[in-house]
Amino acid sequence: MIGAVDIGGTKIAVGMIDDAGHVRSRLQCPTYPERGYPDALNRITAMIEEAAAKAECRITGIGIGSTGPVYPLTGKIGNVNFFPHWEGENPVHDLESRFHLPVAMENDADAAALGEAGWGAGRNKSRLIYVTVGTGIGGGVILDGQLYRGVKDSHPEFGHHLIDPSGPACLCGFRGCWESLAAGPAMVSWLKSAAPPDYPNISDLSAKSICELACQGDSLAHRTVERETYYLGLGLANLVTMFVPDAIVLGGSVMKSASLFLEGIRKLIRESCKLVPWQQTELTLASLGDDANLIGAARVWHYRFGQHGGNSVH
């Protein structure tokens, strides 16, 4: 049984995950970054102990997935937007010394990619790209069973590949990144910018509510979904052209409405990826559900320390 820790910008989830990738117990709390790292570490420690007691199990190890940037091989937290004062802290060393167990950490999108590759929709795919679309766009790449890392163990940032240089400003400082055009908040901001003054559904908009409105026949919401399909499709077509993977696995909150987008995305890939065998790339939905990041965090441990001596997704 692996103790899994998913550190996000707004919440920290902890769970006990068995060797088949099933969640046996689960707890969560707000991240409270302003309370400082030692406070978060104490809460994580207490939640691991409580989750293990609830599942009535002994823990073999601890896996962490964290919003990034993080340094997986040293265990250090980088300069993370959501908790800038935690930079340089090392939850891997700290949890190792508290629990006397091996601990491994990855960026949360890489953790989810490992989870889908080991226990989810990406099983038995040797070239796999995982893409998560929610408040941002992120992802992870697995090539021939290995998690792809950039130089100095860096994590590639799909969400910030350029789609339209004249597009909206992005939090990274550039314009027209995939994330700025196709993450959930982009749907909301575009609909608001296009809405007439008497548009009735303007309050409490979210990607989810826009998709619901589109299904109910709201024409502006329908146009927003069409635009989302186009920009999602462009980014995915770029990934198909550049990598021609066996599969692209789609996760994240916006993908809960995937049935609205998939046909259009497939059409765009068909039309724009003609120089590569695009038919060979399976476009599929993530299968680990709302706990994909937590389950992925456990898979991080298996990837690092598992039965094949580590660094194997299977």
Residues that bind Zn ion (CB under 5 A): 160, 170, 172, 177
Closer residue to Zn ion (CB): 16 or 170 = 170
Say whether 114 sits in a helix, a strand or coil.
helix
Residues 254, 127: contact at Cβ < 8 Å? no
Report the nearest approach of Zn ion to the CB of residue 117 (Å): 26
Question: CB 76 → Zn ion: shortest distance, Å?
Answer: 24
Sign of torsion over alpha carbons 281, 285, 287, 290: positive
Contact 261, 252 (CB under 8 A): no
217 conformational bin, left if phi > 0, alpha if psi -120 to 50, beta if neither: left
Complex with Zn ion: residue 72 or 138, whichever CB lies closer? 138
* Closest approach of Zn ion to the CB of residue 293, in Å: 21
- With contact defined as beta carbons under 8 Å apart, do 270 and 303 qualify? no
Closest CA to 111 of 132, 90, 84, 125: 132
* CA atoms within 13 A of residue 147's CA, in its CB half-sphere: 34
- Report the residue number, 38 or 150, with the smaller CB distance to Zn ion: 150
Q: Which is nearer to Zn ion, 178 or 301 (CB)?
A: 178
CB of 177 to Zn ion, least distance (A): 3
Which one, 172 or 242, has the nearer CB to Zn ion? 172
The tokens for 210 are 């826009």
HSE-CB at 247 with a 13 A cutoff on CA atoms is 21
Q: Do 116 and 77 touch, CB atoms closer than 8 A?
A: no
Least gap, CB of 234 to Zn ion (angstroms):
15
CB-wise, 141 or 177, nearer to Zn ion?
177
Q: How far is the CB of 136 from Zn ion (least distance, A)?
A: 9
Closest by alpha carbon to 60, among 25, 104, 91, 114? 104
Q: Which amino acid is at 5?
A: V
Report, in Å, the least distance between residue 239 CB and Zn ion: 16
User: Which residue's CB is nearer to Zn ion, number 190 or number 303?
Assistant: 190
